Structure 1
């Protein structure tokens, strides 16, 4: 007997769920009830849906699964209260998410893939390659699990954990629809930031959907040769091409672009580089976010010192570029993206004798 895989009910939007219920001979209002149980009450089984008949709950359980994440580990920073979560997904792999507490609310950084195939040189997420894309339900669950853990609401979301969001385009755009749905958590798209290393066709495809999220481009250099050293994707798309895609996104959405610029000592952190960056972005409606690169033991990059970071910032400000220095969060708990996951994978390999 061939077992058919159950359908992922948490990845359906409300209209799709209504259609599924109609196919079962149920009235549309049932879909609204189920949707609320999944996305407001965050239940983990159909038995918890107490205003649904037992027969319908049993039918749902036969045809659908409620995707959940297994919490594996939570690390809490003694410095700033940042929490780093390690979750196990279906298939056994682990992913990580981060809760950052700010005066304006709780912000969660989520992973969009298990691993990553982009190969960015200063990122720990890519060291073991890509395992698989995460489903919309698994993106949602990172937020749902963290809200349950802290007993508080999340107000801001950053798609900047492991993985390249635009390399998982369909699932990520479906997630954006679900998380901002007024029938669910209803988090404003203006409170969501998506970070990309620069997949130009997907950036334009996203722009054509007219989202209101902030697009953050991992720029990290002001010339193609330096950028190719840091990001392999730069061998495919030039800076001119990614900036053109950024302009296209702004023209379609009216949303200011953020440029992420990781400062690596002796590579891209000089005054000359700051002047080149200023000239490159001066005519764009943008914001530059300077990031002192997190050292990771598998790479030999060195973090730029505080004085050099401030000097770089002053050059941009002199040239009237909007600029901030990203505040370091959770440095005492494997702060760099992918570090906790890689450490856990290494521990599991050692325990299994590999």
Structure 2
């Protein structure tokens, strides 16, 4: 069943008009899903019963199922199963008065970083619906607004650039999340870094360095032989020149390897 998350407002209006409903119903549906994180069409109380029935019979909202979750005082980890029986995860982080959602962008990861379980295999990119669905689901689950998001879960965001950038558009335009509270973490994809600077100059960037010299970095990040550190650093300098933003550098210490 098609997820309604993948239908833009104009297309939704056309569908509703074709079925004899008013155009403004589209905005009501969008508000129920994005603003109130309601995951059941029948709970959308200001919609006619016939429309709620039509939506429920023809569309889903969240295009995956929750199969595992683990919770402690600071985090909630969700594991989801897709319609093609693949799994991916996202994590809600509670820190002082802020709630941050760590999003996945791919199922598995093609980068192949050593010491990272995600890098053991790559299956496919997550769709737009599957990425934004993580946010809607998490917001519904915690029953609080989530105003900070990081693309720092499974996958390399810039290798799923089209869907990730579309989700960022939705965060900013539909959910009124400040772009300064959105962070994209990358292992170093120069094209993606430059494209982010041009398309979303206020969104934050984090770079996973792993090792300061080329040879050691290539041993830890197999794809590093394609994206040389010299080229990555050049793209990072261009990003700073375009945006004026600082870049966060992430470095995981591995005893006896890169410490």
Provide the TM-score with structure 1 as the length reference: 0.66
Check the 8 A contact 2:74/2:95 in 1, yes or no.
Answer: no
Check the 8 A contact 1:8/1:66 in 2, yes or no.
Answer: yes
Q: Show structure 1 runs of 5+ residues with no match.
A: 1-5, 270-354
State the Cα deviation string for residues 53-81 of structure 1 (Å, max 9, x = none).
3454455456543234322222223xx53
Check the 8 A contact 1:8/1:64 in 2, yes or no.
Answer: yes
Check the 8 A contact 1:211/1:253 in 2, yes or no.
Answer: yes
Check the 8 A contact 2:101/2:149 in 1, yes or no.
Answer: yes
What is the aligned length? 259
2:24 aligns with one of 18, 29, 45: 29
Tell me the equivalent position of 2:216. 226
Check the 8 A contact 2:39/2:140 in 1, yes or no.
Answer: no
Q: Show structure 2 runs of 5+ residues with no match.
A: none
State the Cα deviation string for residues 23-61 of structure 1 (Å, max 9, x = none).
667554222112112212323343333333345445545
Tell me the equivalent position of 2:145. 153
C-alpha deviation, 1:221, in angstroms: 1.6
Aligned runs of 1:180-259 on 2, under 5 Å?
180-181=172-173, 183=174, 185-259=175-249
1:142 aligns with one of 130, 134, 149: 134
2:162 aligns with one of 149, 157, 170: 170
1:24 and 1:177 map into 2 onto residues whose CA distance is 29
Aligned runs of 1:1-354 on 2, under 5 Å?
7-15=2-10, 17-18=12-13, 21=16, 27-57=22-52, 59-61=54-56, 64-77=59-72, 80-127=73-120, 129-181=121-173, 183=174, 185-269=175-259
Check the 8 A contact 2:3/2:63 in 1, yes or no.
Answer: no
Instruction: Indicate the structure (1 or 2) with the bigger Cα radius of gyration.
Output: 1
Check the 8 A contact 1:217/1:258 in 2, yes or no.
Answer: yes
Check the 8 A contact 1:113/1:133 in 2, yes or no.
Answer: yes
1:250 and 1:20 map into 2 onto residues whose CA distance is 44
Tell me the equivalent position of 1:280. none
Check the 8 A contact 1:95/1:111 in 2, yes or no.
Answer: yes
State the Cα deviation string for residues 286-312 of structure 1 (Å, max 9, x = none).
xxxxxxxxxxxxxxxxxxxxxxxxxxx
C-alpha deviation, 1:82, in angstroms: 2.1
Stretch of structure 1 that moved more, 248-257 or 222-231: 248-257
1:91 and 1:98 map into 2 onto residues whose CA distance is 22
1:156 and 1:169 map into 2 onto residues whose CA distance is 20
Question: Superposition RMSD on alpha carbons, in Å?
Answer: 2.4
Instruction: Note closer, same or farther for the CA distance 1:225–1:7 as it changes in structure 2 (3 Å cut).
Output: same
Stretch of structure 1 that moved more, 162-171 or 47-56: 47-56
1:242 and 1:25 map into 2 onto residues whose CA distance is 54
State the Cα deviation string for residues 88-134 of structure 1 (Å, max 9, x = none).
2222222111122111411121211111111011211111x122221
The 3-state SS of whatever aligns with 1:222 is coil
Instruction: Note closer, same or farther for the CA distance 1:226–1:211 as it changes in structure 2 (3 Å cut).
Output: same
Check the 8 A contact 1:69/1:138 in 2, yes or no.
Answer: yes
1:114 and 1:67 map into 2 onto residues whose CA distance is 17
Stretch of structure 1 that moved more, 36-45 or 192-201: 36-45
Instruction: Note closer, same or farther for the CA distance 1:212–1:22 as it changes in structure 2 (3 Å cut).
Output: farther
